[in-house]
Structure 1
Amino acid sequence: MKKTVVTICSMLAGMSLMAQSVTTERQYLSGTGCDDMVEWDFMCTDGNNSGKWTKIGVPSCWELQGFGTYQYGMKFYGKAFPEGAADEKGKYKFEFELPESWRGKQIELVFEAAMTDTDVLINGRKAGSKHQGGFYRFIYDVSDRVFFGPNKKNRIEVTVAKESENAGVNLAERRADYWNFGGIWRPVFMQARPALNMKHIAIDAQANGDFKADYTLSMPVEGGKITTVITDKNGKKVGESVTPIRKGAGDGQVEVKVNAPATWSAETPELYKAEFTLADASGKVLHKETKKFGFRTIEVRESDGLYINGKKINIRGVNRHSFRPESGRTLSRQKNLEDVELIKSMNMNAVRLSHYPADPEFYEICDSLGLYVMDELTGWHGKHETINGQKLVKEMVMRDVNHPSIIWWSNGNEKGWNDELNGEFHKYDPQKRPVLHPQGNFGGFETMHYRSYGESQNYMRLPEIFMPTEFLHGLYDGGHGAGLHDYWEMMRRDPKCAGGFLWVLADEGVKRVDMDGFIDNCGNYGADGIVGPHHEKEGSYWTVKEVWCP
């Protein structure tokens, strides 16, 4: 009998160890987008339906859920704290349980984005410092603040302020030509990793098959190693390496050589997977991470052009907001897919994310279907002050660094860049992608906006590559199709022109739930798209599609 009991206990212990996952696990507290919101307790302090506790779907922009005040940023342009700006706060509460199997792991609370200043309590304790900046993923380590197991409730309390206490955030993000929203507008989730883990991995995979990845560990693993296995789209192993961890080192680099890889470009979006396995000195696996990536090389040849994998590229691009009339900035994977398919249907090969980073799913789809992406730090005509701006650059680049679709980083827009941040992007990007100043001359690119036909010809006589990050504004030319053919014939024939980005993809008309569903473009401020607010195809859609037909 004793032997049987011991055997059963041993089996149970073995099963318990097997149940301990060595991968990164995620548990959503919200929905994953506007199509599957989860109700949280909510109170808005001012505006519509304010001053009382009720329910709200998360993620969402609270105006579209019937709360607060609709506000267009241009009406307060150029002022840090203008009179009449909507400054309501949203207060959120939510309870949840965490699995017992997460006990002893590193537990992180992750917000994909909240607009704007965000304070978080978890089980009555501050999760960390206030986050300022409405378009960025921010993470709190709450390992010592949470409970595990059934019937052990955790309580999260969040206060989101629509106006920031930081004047630079308001000038960069809210005094702009678009709707200002409030709320937890992207998903919220808990994340669990083994206590000893690979905290961050940044990949540099060149078209010749040279693969490098910088890694950061949660803490040094003495005598440990990282095994890297690369597989192609069919799951076939094409490369492998084993990298010893240097004594006392909390970071390092792995290298793998892949022979004759299929390269990534907008025309050939070939993706690979890299599986990283961290093991201790005994060979015990501690943590596994898998990343998708593409082999591709970016070159900016001075006074010549942009080259991807040795081939000169002509950009046929468009600026794009994260936006829908019924949900504001809160989208879903399906809606991000619709945007990419719409852009590609016009024979475009590039998109500029104006004027903030997009949902993670948008980049994944650009990786998969093939679009060149300009990833932009928020900044319209105002700029972030340096200290907070450094944090936001780090959050943006560390989140997005492994997407092969990203070709450029953008440091703001139209004088909304802070020169003290120029060097921050490459701290976290081993690929050292070009950093641009839209409407400025920087990084080998002249990107001046809205030049006339004759002025554009003069700009192409400059030594820098001419690539306007905005041209042919959809409002003022009566439709993009009215002038594109003439401009494009000139641009595509000039050897120093790398193409450009039209302004803008879609009208930004928002559904006014306080006005019986009226679609409000704020007069003519938001009505400057190639297509309508619900992606209604107008004459310019068909013209762009034809002019940019290969």
Structure 2
Amino acid sequence: MIKIFPKLIIQIIFLLLCSLSFAQQTVVKYLSGLDKDHTVQWDFFCTDGRNSGKWSKIPVPSNWEMQNYGTYNYGHDKVKGNESGIYKHDFFVGDWKNKRVFIVFDGSTTDTKVMVNDKQVGPIHQGGFYQFKYDITDFLKFNSENALEVRVDKTSANLSINNAERKGDFWIFGGIFRPVYLEIVPEVFIERLAIDAKADGTFKADVYTKNLKGDELIEAQVQMLNGHNVGGPIRTNLKQNQELQTLSGKFNNPLLWNAEFPNLYQVSISIRNKSGVIHKIIKKFGFRTVEVRLNDGLYVNGNKIMLKGSNRHSFWPETGRTLSYGVHLLDVKLMKEMNMNAVRMSHYPPDVDFLNICDSLGLYVIDELTGWQAKYDNEVGHRLVKELVLRDVNHPSILFWANGNEGGFNTDLDKDYALYDPQNRVVIHPWEKFNGTDTKHYPDYNYMVKAAQTGKEVFFPTEFMHGLYDGGASAALDDFWNQMLKHPHGAGGFIWAFLDESVIRTDKNGIYDSDGNHAPDGILGPHREKEASFFSIKEIWSPIYIAQKEIDKNFDGKLELENRFSFTNLNQCTFKWRLAKFPSAKSQSLVSKITATGNISSPDIKPNGKGKLDLVLPVSWKNNDVLYLSAFGVDGKEIFTWSWKVKPVKAIVAAFVVKSLKSKITVDDKTELIKVVCDGIGYFFDKTTGYIQQVNKGVKVISLSNGPVLAGMDTSLQHFSSHFDGDRYIIEASYGGMASLNVKWIFSAGKPAKLEYSYNQTGDVDFSGITFNYPENKITGIKYLGRGPYRVWKNRLKGQQIGVWHKDYNNTITGETWRYPEFKGYHAEVNWVVIENKESPFTVYTTNENVFLQMFQPDREKDALKNNNVEPAFPKGNIGFLNSISPIGTKFQSAGVMGPQSEKNHLDGKLITGDLYFDFSN
């Protein structure tokens, strides 16, 4: 009996597969794993840092820092690790003597020396984010094991690479972080092709061949993705040494590619001779035309578009730059869920998988050469541009090439892109005016206004709304976006940034590290945890815009719609409405009771058009508490869900504020504290301050104290009195100083304690309203009726839904910890709130519209340093019922320069009134 070992079985199967396909398509054999979740162990030696000086095993692909080797560094570190990694791996080569074999590295940081069977196969590759390959045919031993050795130096021997790549505002990793594989082709083969397929159906393909004999024919066949041919083949005869051949054709009414309808085709290119097909490759592409029209805008297929995008680093907290198809798919889906249609590759080309998904699901892409405020020199720059474009040229999702970032532009390279790109895409310099574009980084609101009035260039900032911690991202975006829509040459912009780039440090017991305040800039956390900005962006960038803010009894069931799609008629979308009633504060359920639903077909509203949507509500619609309306796109996915209260707050709360127990009110005012007992609840007031200081429920003490205080104002007690008014007991206090406050507590048997208050205040303030104190260490959670579940700022109110929400207490610091939604902060349109605590829960109701609930003050980020732009003001009290709240700024701008919604609140001295009901009977 012959014993066959598993490794030999694999080799036999591989040889059989090769023999079947060598005559046609390129054969790919992976030497590494495919991604972060599928790796292959190679022998590894690290020269310095952790676990250095000894041979061991490392998964490939990976960044070695994340595998407990070497030194972690962020680009801003003045002193960086200088270790190298030496990899060894044996691989089997079959009987491929009439083939050409290439070894391909999809990405290796930074200088990479490749040896096969102890011989160097080509020059050391320099540049950390680019695909490179070597022809290793002449170095191989066929039908035998072969030895691969790779040395990767994290620090490049080229100074310009270190300046452009290793001093950037991002993590600096070392290692073979993308796959390594063999490409096996015939002696005569297609090296590459570059496609230019325009919206008018014109098709051109530059086909580069190698080793022609002179009797070959080249043929191109355009197909649907299912393999069905579109039109006939395009053929031409080839001549020996004729390495470039352009094939041309014209197709009638092709399905066009854009971010809303990402229609893809494929082209099969083959070299034939009298014996048949020698080599064939298949590439996906899309018919589409991109134009930058000076003094006009950005057009795709003749339609003006607005880029709604974010900047994305290739990053996962456990594996650094080594990702997976699943991560790429997740990221694109999250962007689409936010109603984004664009992404900028900051600041290096991404994995091919990511671009493939952008092609198939529909995202506009800016593909970028590395150069973070420093540029490549000509020696490496010309080569790296070529490597970038050759790999990515056929992706229809790519609209622009970015030649570096923020001054990292080697202008000698600007014309190189067109050498390899028959589409001649526009090259931009992110943050400056160039090639008819204005991509200024972090404009303030006044720049937006000025650009709209006087700018000629097509305007789309490639970085704006910096999302440090909870600042920026979507705060002030509503004002900015409205101003962008007014810009006659506006083309949108890209928020910084998509995610918090926080690594899990294998050298520091698994802590998250964002290098201080350099990397917690995301709309999402490192594992894609959704921050509040995610939802406000989703509403602001909804391609269906509804201006209606409130509805009342006069609502006729019709809503004004604006179509902000570029290619989609709203009759291709669908709508669904729901009418519901809220649960009470005492209910165990958080779910509103749906009383009626309806599905609606949208009216015919062309892109950039307006029209009306008739909901056709039932006659009884006014008997409900809330109306929800969801819009769904062509793909059936939710675009956004809007919500409006049907009843005023007084009507909603009136049904809840009822008690049945009645007892005689007693008062003890013989000391400095007045004790009022109503329905078995004791209320204690300090005569010297007028503030409530404690509530007793039997033997239970509820530590509500020091209020109401006029938020942010220094006032002193001017008058205090108490008396019976029939069956009611009244406590009144008035305060003067920086502003005036009048307070009236009303105790009535069988009813919750009622607080009526009014105040006069003038000037520009961060916030206004009243506050109380309650010990934070005794709070366990809240349940509330309002907009939620995320907190809000004055300039970030959109994206939240009216409903009943519950949140357990947490001390989340946005961008440093990721337990969302955050507990602390401002909450919008609160009608009632149950304060859950370790003493005894109690409920506070209000009958006033648009009251903000303040729950404590968020802790300051430990690495915020001196940046107060993202530290909004809060009252000293820790439970507040406010009429106005503070805005938040960005990393680079204070809130005050970010537009009307970001300015302070102006109070003109008009009397502001409010009332609260305190129910301690829970």
Q: Is the 8 A contact 2:375 2:409 kept in 1?
A: yes
Query: What letter matches 1:349 in structure 2?
Result: N
Higher relative contact order (CA 8 A, sep 6+): 1
Deviations 1:220-243 (Å, cap 9, x if unpaired)? 341321111111234321122111
> 2:42 & 2:226 partners in 1: Cα distance?
42
Distance in 1 separating the partners of 2:196 and 2:457: 26
CA distance in 1 between counterparts of 2:55 and 2:488 reads: 61
Does the C-alpha gap of structure 1 residues 473 and 180 become closer, same or farther in structure 2, counting only changes over 3 Å? same
User: Structure 1 residues 527, 139: CA separation in 2 closer, same or farther (over 3 Å shift)?
Assistant: same
The 8 Å contact of residues 346 and 544 in structure 1, kept in 2 or not, is answered as yes
3-state SS of 1:238 partner: coil
- Tell me, yes or no, if structure 1 residue 287 matches structure 2 residue 289: no
User: Percent of aligned pairs with the same residue?
Assistant: 49
Which whole-Å CA distance do the structure 2 matches of 1:260 and 1:537 have between them?
Answer: 41
1:158-197 aligned within 5 A: 158-197=150-189
Q: In the alignment, does 2:346 pair up with 1:371?
A: no
2:83 match? 88
CA distance in 2, matches of 1:319, 1:475: 13
Partner of 1:32: 34
Query: Residues 90 and 247 of structure 1: is their aligned pair in 2 closer, same or farther, counting only changes over 3 Å?
Result: closer
Change (3 A) 1:17 1:70: closer
Q: What is the root-mean-square deviation in Å for CA atoms of aligned residues?
A: 1.4
* Distance (whole Å) between structure 1 residues aligned to residue 23 and residue 82 of structure 2: 44
Letter aligned with residue 252 of structure 1: Q
Distance verdict in 2 for CA 1:520–1:18, change over 3 Å = closer
What's the counterpart of residue 306 of structure 2? 314
1:477 positional shift = 7.1
Deviation at 1:383, TM superposition (A): 0.4
Query: 1:430 aligns to what SS in structure 2?
Result: coil
Q: How many residues are matched?
A: 525
C-alpha offsets along residues 430-465 of structure 1, whole Å, 9 cap, x if unaligned?
000010000011111010100110012223322111
What CA deviation, in whole Å up to 9, does each residue of 1:66-110 have, x standing for no partner?
Answer: 10111011123xxxxxxx32100001100010232x321111010
Equivalent in 396, 400, 404 of residue 392 of structure 2: 400
1:257 aligns with 2:216: no
Matches within 5 A, 1:13-412: 20-76=22-78, 84-100=79-95, 102-149=96-143, 152-239=144-231, 240-246=233-239, 248-280=241-273, 282=274, 284-412=276-404
Q: Is the aligned partner of 1:518 residue 2:520? A: no
Contact map agreement 2:465 2:475 (CA 8 A) in 1: no
Distance in 2 between the 1:204 and 1:19 partners? 28
**Within 2, Cα distance between the matches of 1:221 and 1:467?**
50
Relative to the length of structure 2, the TM-score reads 0.56
1: distance between equivalents of 2:270 and 2:322? 35
Bigger proportion of residues as strand = 2
Change (3 A) 1:530 1:48: same
Structure 1 pair 477–443 and aligned structure 2 pair: CA distance change class (3 A): farther
Contact 1:263–1:295 (Cα < 8 Å) also in 2: yes
Q: Identify the residue that residue 444 of structure 2 maps to in structure 1.
A: 452
**C-alpha distance in 2 between matches for 1:442 and 1:531:** 31
Cα distance, 1:158–1:19 mapped onto 2, change above 3 Å: closer
Cα distance in 2 for residues equivalent to 1:362 and 1:230: 24
Letter in 1 for 2:187: A
Contact (CA 8 Å) 2:21, 2:27: kept in 1 or not? no
Report deviation, 1:248: 4.2
SS at match of 1:473: coil
Q: Does the C-alpha gap of structure 1 residues 278 and 418 become closer, same or farther in structure 2, counting only changes over 3 Å?
A: same
Which structure has the larger Rg over C-alpha atoms? 2
Contact 1:479 1:530 in 2 (8 A): no
Q: CA deviation at 1:298?
A: 0.8
Is the deviation greater in 15-24 or in 295-304? 15-24
Q: CA deviation at 1:148?
A: 2.3
Looking at secondary structure, tell me which structure has more helix per residue. 1
TM-score normalised to structure 1 length:
0.93
Change beyond 3 A, Cα 1:38–1:18: closer
Provide Cα deviations, 1:31-84, integer angstroms capped at 9, x if missing partner. 0110011000001111111110000000000000010111011123xxxxxxx3
- Distance in 2, Cα, partners of 1:139 & 1:248: 22
Q: Could you tell me which amino acid in structure 2 is paired with residue 52 of structure 1?
A: K
Letter in 1 for 2:85: G
How do 1:416-435 residues align onto structure 2 when only pairs under 5 Å count? 416-435=408-427
Give the 3 Å change call, closer, same or farther, for CA 359–17 of structure 1 in structure 2: closer
CA distance in 1, matches of 2:93, 2:436: 50
CA contact (8 A) 1:477 1:483 kept: no
Query: CA–CA distance in 1 between the matches of 2:188 and 2:123?
Result: 24
Q: Deviations over 1:358-417 (max 9, x none)?
A: 000000000000000000000001000012000000001000000000100000000001
**SS where residue 449 of structure 2 aligns?**
helix
Change (3 A) 1:68 1:19: closer
Give 1:500-539 correspondences, 5 Å limit.
500-539=493-532
CA–CA distance in structure 2, aligned partners of residues 477 and 17 of structure 1: 58
Counterpart amino acid of residue 125 in structure 1: K
Question: What SS is found at the alignment partner of 2:288?
Answer: coil
Is the CA contact (8 Å cut-off) linking 2:197 and 2:288 kept in structure 1?
A: yes
Q: Distance in 2 between matches of 1:369 and 1:216?
A: 29
CA distance in 1, matches of 2:18, 2:361: 41
**2:77 partner SS:** helix
Q: Is the 8 A contact 2:359 2:397 kept in 1?
A: yes
Provide the rounded CA distance (Å) in 1 between the counterparts of 2:295 and 2:165: 33
Question: In the TM superposition, what is the alpha-carbon distance from 1:517 to its structure 2 partner?
Answer: 0.7
Paired amino acid for 1:212? K
